[in-house]
Structure formats: structure tokens, C-alpha cells
Amino acid sequence: MTEYDNTNRGAIFKNNDKTAENQPDYTGKINVDGVEKRIALWIRESAAGNKYMSASISDPMPPKEQDAPRAEKMQPLEDAIPF
């Protein structure tokens, strides 16, 4: 079976984590000439009342740092005792 070629293709999903107006309404990944990029879309309305989408393409965001393992979050015992 041949591998699917994603070159010059992408996918966009609703941003369910949006907490501020300046954050995009939709985000996703797009492959441009073999380079992975991030795409962000905002739903806008023109002065004439026409709805449109404004887009931005950028380098991918770095992955969210996962919470440190519990042992790394704990202070050494000798630092936690005040005497």
C-alpha cells in the first residue's frame, strides 16, 4: 500500500479552547511544499456586514509542556522543614 501524500493539504478545526477575542476561531495544520505550518482563522465581518474569514499561516507552535512528574514537583525534605 502506498503512503498518503499530505503535501499542500491540511485540516482546520474549531478552537474549543478560545478564551480571548484575539485567539483564532479555527486552527489546524497545513503542509506547504513539504513544510508543516500552523493555520489560524478568524470569523470577521466587514463594514458592509459581509462575513469573511481572516487567515494567518505560521510556524507550528511548540508542544505544550506536560506537567512535571510528581516527584520532580516535590521539594527535597530537608528544604521543606523550617528548622
**Closest by Cα among 28, 24, 13 to 53:** 24
Please report where in the chains the cell 520532580 appears, as a residue. 72
Assessment of whether the complete model's pTM goes beyond 0.75: no
Number of Cβ atoms within 10 Å of the Cβ of 10:
15
**Closest by Cα among 31, 37, 29 to 6:** 31
Element (H, E) at 45: strand 35-45
Q: What's the grid cell of residue 59?
A: 510556524
Summarised one tens digit per residue, pLDDT across range 11-58 is 999 999 999 999 999 999 999 999 999 999 999 999 999 999 999 999
- Provide the pLDDT for residue 58: 95
- Provide the pLDDT for residue 78: 57
- Provide the pLDDT for residue 1: 62
- Provide the pLDDT for residue 3: 82
